[in-house]
Amino acid sequence: MAYTITDDCINCGACEPECPNVAISEGAEVYVIDPDLCTECVPVHSESQCAAVCPVDACVPDPDRPETREVLEAKYKKIHG
């Protein structure tokens, strides 16, 4: 499933450069993740890089966007063609 950034975000920006799909951008109040670009860092990393670097654990799986590994890999291939 795609990740999302909760209201706990402190706008530190640590997550943005870590995303291999450039899915993270600065929002009005907190950083946001474009769910159409988020692949949970599959297949390039073993864990989601935004969650790994977030100092307040604001990057979490979005329960409204369940996706299988196969779907995430296909999405990555489409993005990076």
Contact between residue 49 and residue 10 where contact means Cβ atoms under 8 Å apart:
no
User: Residue 51 is part of which domain span?
Assistant: 3-80
Q: What are phi and psi of 55, to 5 degrees?
A: -75, -15
pLDDT tens per residue across span 8-56:
999 999 999 999 999 999 999 999 999 999 999 999 999 999 999 999 9
Judged by DSSP in three states, 54 sits in coil
CATH number of the structural domain spanning residue 51: 3.30.70.20
- The answer to whether the pTM exceeds 0.85 is yes
pLDDT at 1 exceeding the cut of 90: no
Looking at the structure of the chain, the number of domains it has is 1
Q: Provide mean pLDDT across the span 1-13.
A: 96
What is the 8-class DSSP label of residue 8? T
Residues with Cβ within 8 Å of residue 23, at least 6 apart in sequence: 33, 34, 35, 37, 38
